[in-house]
Amino acid sequence: MIEGAPVFARPVGGTRLIRQIRRRSPVILWALLALCGVLAGCAAPAGAVADRRGTDGTSLLESWGDISGGLLTSDFGQTSPRYVTFVRPTSVAARGNFVYVVDTGARRIYRYDRTTRRLTAYTQLAPGADWEIYAAPDMTVYLSEPAARRIAHYDWNGMLINTFSDDANLGRPTAFAVDEATGEVLVADGLYHQVVGFNPLGAAVSVIRPCGAKAVGMDSMTAMALTRDEIYLVDRIAKRVVVQQRRSAACRVLGEDDLTDPGAIAVDRFRRVYVGDNYDDTIKVFSPDGRLLAQYGGSGAGPSHFNHIAGLWIDANVLYVADSLNGRIGMLLITPQPTKGEK
């Protein structure tokens, strides 16, 4: 479990840098040498490290550390604290200091407190897969339950508040998002290839067929993100992201020439789109008009590398990454303003 200052991507001559730092601070020197040792021991295969900078040279993402576990102070039947490490995290959500982790390998949902670095077992998971979590501003949590064909809404203590399901229109929920302004819950259905909208009380009130009957359809909806005006849906089979207007039939696609195995998705407040591509274990960043701005990461277990990006979440200026097969949550700082040329 590592939390600290950003590790910047710009290369600097090692010998020259060490001489400069030696004159200023022995502590910094030893920290740098330790970091170099980690990088040398955990380096990815040659060519696996992706470009971390935008087309204009502006850094878009910077590593800020990882969360791999914590001191578990409360679990079902547990009598004393114990340290646990994540087994296979597959979804992540965060609000302020609290980070929620769906650990499918341990069949647990944990709430991690970044202040105390401690874990609380939020709830247990039934057997299954494709669990997704959403942390709301009021500190309640939404959880997809594919086997039950529903989205469940839980309070801070893990008590069930409400459920969102519809036997007629929702056959296989694969992804969902919550409109924080209205409380509407939008659920992508992988069986009927549509998006079902529920009001805050749990009643189905709308059905959206992305791009209608046009040539751009949805073969496999595996992840979703939401803005005030648009729905972003990952079509894994067609290797693209479909962007559907919420209040009209207009739609567009992005990433067709840049994505190979897209999975997780997130959109920041500048409408930049972050897509996890598990073909090369990178996060690809697109502008609102679909231009590839940068890519970050690469295959491996070392810092700034990933092994199956299962989930993405943005809170404030931090991008959280469920680095599933490495058993950790990566934290990346996002550039707080658009890069040159962005609208």
Residue 201's contacts (CB-CB under 8 Å, 6 or more residues apart) are 162
Above 70 in pLDDT, residue 2?
no
Beta pairing, strands 69-74 & 118-124: parallel
78-120: per-residue pLDDT in tens?
Answer: 778 899 999 999 999 999 999 999 999 999 999 999 999 999 9
- 8 Å CB contact between 125 and 107: yes
If we measure between CA atoms, which residue out of 154, 152, 193 comes closest to residue 172? 193
* Mean pLDDT of all residues in 173-198: 93
- Which has more confidence, 330 or 2? 330
Alpha-carbon gap, residue 241 to 60, rounded angstroms: 20
Residues 60, 66, 72, 75, Cα dihedral to 10°: 60
Angstrom distances, CA of residue 305 to CA of 54, 79, 261, 291, 296: 18, 36, 17, 23, 8
- 8 Å CB contact between 234 and 263: yes
Angstrom distances, CA of residue 91 to CA of 80, 110, 246: 27, 11, 25
Residue 33 φ then ψ, to 5°:
-65, -40
Containing H/E element for 26?
helix 26-42
**55-59, 169-173, 182-186, 317-321 — which is least confidently predicted?**
55-59
What value does the mean pLDDT of the chain take? 82
Place of tokens 């299962």: 310
Looking at the DSSP bridge assignments, the partners of residue 70 are 84
Rg of the chain over all Cα atoms, to the nearest angstrom? 21
- 8 Å CB contact between 254 and 291: no
Containing H/E element for 266?
strand 262-267
* Domain ranges (residues) in the chain: 2-334
Above 50 in pLDDT, residue 49?
no
- Which has more confidence, 340 or 334? 334
Alpha-carbon gap, residue 146 to 64, rounded angstroms: 33
If we measure between CA atoms, which residue out of 222, 225, 280 comes closest to residue 93? 225
Q: In the chain, what is the straight-line distance between the N-terminal and C-terminal CA atoms, in Å?
A: 37
SS3 167: coil
Q: If you count them, how many residues does the chain have?
A: 343
- Which has more confidence, 44 or 283? 283
Alpha-carbon gap, residue 266 to 273, rounded angstroms: 6
Containing H/E element for 173?
strand 173-178
pTM of the model: 0.82
Alpha-carbon gap, residue 99 to 319, rounded angstroms: 12
190-225: per-residue pLDDT in tens?
Answer: 888 899 999 999 999 999 988 875 555 666 888 999
* Mean pLDDT of all residues in 113-131: 86
Task: Give me the CATH topology for the region 2-334.
Answer: Neuraminidase (2.120.10)
Angstrom distances, CA of residue 280 to CA of 189, 262, 299: 27, 10, 6
Take residue 113 and report the two structure tokens written for it: 């407190």
Alpha-carbon gap, residue 283 to 305, rounded angstroms: 10
Per-residue DSSP letter, 88: -
- 8 Å CB contact between 44 and 299: yes
- 8 Å CB contact between 297 and 62: no
Take residue 151 and report the two structure tokens written for it: 């989205």
